């Protein structure tokens, strides 16, 4: 078993149950790479500042690089009885290079060491997740481009509302994902402060160069306050908050696709490779993958709550409770990564059921707002126009009749402003063409948005 870094002061061994309960190696082993990289930069600094001999620093760096190589090729053997990843690596380093390894922990504590490791992990994972978000945006954009001439009935309150271009709806997903990406980058910027050298919480009397370490590790700068350096987990909370919002978007996208794939909607067909069947009903083709996405992202909301509850009652500086910040962070990152990867593949295999969609566009209730705006353009107030169209809907659409079948005389019975040309707007293409305000669903505006996103995403 790896020797405890603090064991000398204790007159007896800790209870086996205590060892098991306090060990974090089972989950913080994920941070091994960052622990080595941070230690290499730290050793370089200690040598540069002549705090440790250059020959020992060289041995330390070579030993850590050897461990990094083993981690990369999967040959490193984690000691699951170790207290944490720091102890495990320290022990392996000692076995490789001898007593020189004892100099590595000079001018640092596990308190600032773990803060560094998590920040390095967060920064890299934000880049990885952002790349996946871009891949998903590209997949959605391709689907929008391939179906730029498809109009669907849009919904509010899950009730038929107005006509929109399918591409316009798909672009709304891209907008939300762009905000998600922006939030992640904002969180990364605030995590880009290097905490190593804060030591336990008060700094050190040794002549260290924290800015050198920050530069070596690619941080913008070193943290300014040693207590805050080991106390801060805002960056974990902020990343989890960004992932929680992203997961909401992913869940709502999944819900749209689930609804659209039902017989009641029949807007899309999801590839068999992303569906499952029923053990009792041979005809079933279930969107289980999307349902699991919708369900699994709920874990991310719980992960955020977990850390907020963990941190809310802690006094300043480091507390051992903070050991438990990592499992929720890791689970959230893993969950979101998995969902993004599935969505990228799934969107590339969606078939749009154009004929089924077209059959739904004969519902003239889709054009009620267009008639209201037609009357407004004739000088009628909004309130009066709304009432006029409301009566038409009550008399016609609610009784299964079409407004387009009304005679000129019947039209004028509702308003003298209703001319025969109003019937020209009672079709899907006329309806979307009219929505030409900034951000609207008119084909010209949507085409510009597709072009704009294509340039931005592929830049």
Q: What positions carry a catalytic annotation?
A: 157, 278
Q: Around 364, how many Cα atoms within 13 Å sit in the side-chain half-sphere?
A: 23
- The DSSP secondary structure of 142-208, one letter per residue, reads HHHHHTTT-EEEEEETTEEEEEEEHHHHHHHHHHHHHHHHHHHHHHHHHH-EE-TT-TTTT--SS--
Picking from 155, 145, 141, 1, the residue whose alpha carbon sits closest to that of residue 79 is 1
CA distance 161 to 376: 19
Residues in the chain: 459
CA distance 351 to 261: 10
CB-CB contact of 161 with 366 (8 Å): yes
CB-CB contact of 217 with 41 (8 Å): yes
CB count within 10 Å of CB 80 equals 12
Residue-wise over 140-176: b if at least 16 C-beta within 10 A, else e?
A: bbebbeebbebbbbbeeeeeeebbbbbbbbbbebbeb
Picking from 170, 167, 220, the residue whose alpha carbon sits closest to that of residue 432 is 167
Burial (0-12, 13-18, 19+ Cβ within 10 Å), 92: buried
CA distance 93 to 98: 8
Residue 312, Cα to own-chain centre: how many angstroms? 24
Instruction: Compute CA distances 75 → 3, 62, 67, 83, 279, whole Å.
Output: 21, 17, 9, 20, 43
């Amino acid at each position: 078993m790896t020797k405890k870094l603090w064991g000398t002061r204790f007159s007896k061994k800790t209870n086996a149950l205590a060892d098991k309960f306090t060990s974090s190696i089972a989950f913080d082993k994920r941070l091994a790479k960052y622990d080595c990289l941070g230690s290499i930069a730290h050793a370089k600094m200690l040598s540069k500042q002549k705090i440790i001999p250059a020959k020992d620093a060289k041995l330390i760096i070579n030993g850590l690089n050897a461990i990094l190589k083993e981690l990369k090729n999967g040959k490193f053997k984690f000691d699951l009885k170790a207290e944490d990843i720091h102890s495990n690596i320290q022990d392996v380093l000692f076995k490789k290079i001898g007593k020189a390894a004892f100099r590595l922990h000079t001018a640092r504590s596990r308190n600032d060491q773990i803060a560094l490791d998590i920040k390095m992990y967060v920064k890299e994972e934000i880049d990885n997740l952002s790349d996946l978000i871009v891949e998903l945006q590209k997949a959605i954009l391709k689907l929008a481009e391939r179906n730029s001439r498809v109009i669907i009935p849009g919904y509010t309150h899950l009730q038929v509302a107005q006509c929109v271009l399918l591409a316009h709806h798909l672009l709304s997903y891209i907008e939300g994902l762009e905000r998600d990406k922006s939030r992640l980058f904002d969180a990364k910027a605030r995590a880009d402060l290097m905490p190593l050298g804060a030591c336990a919480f008060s700094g050190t009397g040794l002549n260290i160069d924290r800015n050198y370490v920050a530069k070596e590790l690619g941080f913008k700068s070193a943290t300014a306050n040693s207590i805050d350096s080991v106390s801060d987990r805002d960056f974990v909370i902020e990343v989890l908050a960004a992932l929680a919002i992203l997961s909401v978007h992913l869940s709502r996208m999944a819900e749209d696709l689930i609804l659209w794939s039902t017989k009641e909607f029949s807007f899309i067909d999801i590839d068999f490779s992303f569906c499952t069947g029923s053990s009792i009903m041979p005809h079933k083709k279930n969107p289980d993958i999307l349902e699991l996405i919708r369900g699994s992202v709920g874990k991310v909301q719980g992960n955020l709550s977990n850390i907020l509850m963990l941190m809310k009652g802690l006094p300043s500086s480091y507390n051992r409770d903070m050991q438990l910040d990592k499992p929720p962070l890791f689970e959230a990152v893993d969950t979101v990564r998995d969902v993004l990867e599935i969505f990228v593949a799934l969107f590339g295999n969606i078939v749009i059921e154009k004929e089924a969609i077209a059959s739904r566009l004969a519902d003239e209730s889709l054009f009620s707002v267009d008639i209201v705006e037609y009357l407004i353009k004739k000088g009628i107030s909004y309130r009066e126009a709304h009432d006029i169209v409301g009566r038409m809907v009550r008399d016609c659409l609610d009784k299964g009749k079409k407004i387009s079948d009304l005679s000129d005389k019947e039209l004028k019975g509702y308003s003298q402003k209703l001319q025969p040309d109003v019937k020209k707007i009672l079709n899907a293409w006329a309806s979307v063409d009219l929505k030409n305000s900034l951000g609207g669903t008119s084909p010209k505006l949507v085409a510009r948005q597709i072009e704009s996103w294509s340039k931005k995403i592929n830049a």
